Structure 1
Amino acid sequence: MAGSRPDDEDWQALDDNDPALLDKAVGPVRRIKDAPVPPRAPRPRPRPRQFEADEQAAIATSHTPQADDLAAGDASLYRRPELPLRAFKRLRRGLYTVQDEIDLHQAGVELAGELLRAFLREARERGLRCVRIVHGKGLRSAGGRAVLRPWVEGHLRQRNDVLAFSSAPAQQGGTGALLVLLSDPA
């Protein structure tokens, strides 16, 4: 094996810090390719922070409609953010089957409140998803202002089991009735 290993004299001549020392000890070398750079994880989608802040500010400054806010022909609309817009549009068009209804005509606010709470509790227990609440337009109310309608809407907005409500289509009661979409019973 002549020439494969350096002679002792060659070893003695090399300084310990000499890069040629490795070359003489190992022999010819070849450079291996660098490992490929692993792919980066995709960047997260940007969040519309300003839009979210504006939405929160709008919710914080909104109020429950009062009798003065609603005219007899005004449509009522309410949707929780977790309800898809498509489902809300279906509700507004009256495309959900109304599974039960309550008529609160001629009831005062106190009696109507008791009846409405009992009706919604029973609807949830029965697993109903869409109900109609007839509250009237308030055209015959004292002072010409609706009393029951804004109270019902304010009450429904505060309930966790109400996903959305909308004035019923004309053939189902128009602005004198609400179609209410309830959440799944837990």
Structure 2
Amino acid sequence: MSGGRKLNPEERILWGKVAKSTRAFPERRSDLIAFEAEVVARAAEAEKSAPSLPREVPEKQAEQGRTAKKPAGYHHPLEKPTKKKLAKGRLAIEARLDLHGLFQGEAHDLLLDFIYRAHERGLRHVLVITGKGSSMGSEGALRRAVPLWFSKAEFRFLISSYEWAAQHHGGDGALYVRLARTGRVEP
């Protein structure tokens, strides 16, 4: 879609739902698998050929590295002082969402709607409770899935960073999420 118009947030949500519901034609499945293998091979090759950074970076280059934009789809963890303030209650958690007992499809749609509405309202810090999912000794499906969803296109422009919550807010079964500022959103 290069050169075309940008999708507004509502269209992005709709497109995400449509894209999630699609399936490859059975006769094209082998082509898709071959294409994915080729993409993975190219990525591994590009990673090997990427120049390695020197051990010690001069101060000027280090400053430039700090101000450089982060790659799309990658969220930095919350800064330690911010996480500490959220944990101690000095920084307000402005909204909460509990995803306990939901199927992944329901949870994804509910989470996307929650994050989108919170972002529209200008909220900055929210708590998403996934649960630990320790039934039968396995790690919870939502606990694994939610951080992966945050790197998808429909969430990427809404979220600035996230981190596992303090123990009294749910620990490994909850996430502090910092939403992107509303004025700096780039679709």
- Normalising by the residue count of structure 1, what TM-score does the alignment of the two structures yield? 0.53
Tell me what 1:178 maps to: 175
For residues 9-56 of structure 1, the C-alpha deviation after alignment (integer angstroms, 9 at most, x for no partner) is xxxxxxxxxxxxxxxxxxxxxxxxxxxxxxxxxxxx7425xx96xxxx
The one-letter code matched in structure 1 to 2:161 is A
Structure 1 residue 91, shift from structure 2 partner: 3.2
- C-alpha change, 1:46 and 1:165, in structure 2 (3 Å) is closer
Q: CA deviation at 1:168?
A: 0.9
- 1:127 equivalent in alignment to 2:118: no
How far has the Cα of 1:126 moved from its partner? 0.7
Residue 161 of structure 1 deviates from its aligned partner by 2.1
Conserved? CA contact 2:116–2:158, under 8 Å: no
CA RMSD of aligned residues (A): 3.2
Within 2, Cα distance between the matches of 1:120 and 1:163?
12
Supply the distance in 2 between the matched residues of 1:181 and 1:126 (Cα, whole angstroms).
13
Deviation at 1:178, TM superposition (A): 0.4
Give the letter for the 2:83 counterpart: R
Measure, in 1, the Cα distance between the counterparts of 2:172 and 2:137: 19
Per-residue CA deviation, residues 140-181 of structure 1 (Å, 9 max, x unaligned), is 2x6723211121011123312211111111111111110100
SS of the residue aligned with 1:79? Answer: coil
Matched, 1:167 2:164: yes
Any conservation in 2 of the 1:132–1:180 contact (CA below 8 Å)?
yes
User: Do structure 1's residue 108 and structure 2's residue 103 form an aligned pair?
Assistant: yes
8 Å Cα contact 1:91/1:181 also seen in 2: no
Tell me what 1:155 maps to.
149
Structure 2: any 5+ residue segments left out of the alignment? 1-58, 66-70
Residues 99 and 151 (structure 1), Cα distance of their counterparts in 2 relative to 1, 3 Å cut? same
Amino acid of the residue matched to residue 164 of structure 1?
A: S
Q: Give 3-state SS (helix, strand or coil) of 1:47's partner.
A: helix
**Would you tell me which structure has more helix in proportion to its own residues?**
2
Q: Give the structure 1 partner of residue 4 of structure 2.
A: none
Q: Secondary structure at the match of 1:148?
A: helix
Q: Is the Cα–Cα contact under 8 Å of residues 91 and 179 in structure 1 kept in the other structure?
A: no
Structure 1 residue 92 displacement after superposition: 2.4
Contact 2:125–2:177 (8 Å) recurs in 1: yes
User: CA contact under 8 A between 1:92 and 1:167: conserved in structure 2?
Assistant: no
**Matching residue of 1:18:** none
Change (3 A) 1:46 1:184: closer
What's the secondary structure of 2:161's corresponding residue?
A: strand
Structure 2 letter corresponding to 1:129: R
What is the match of residue 97 of structure 1? Answer: 92
User: What is the identity percentage for the equivalent residue pairs of Structure 1 and Structure 2?
Assistant: 28
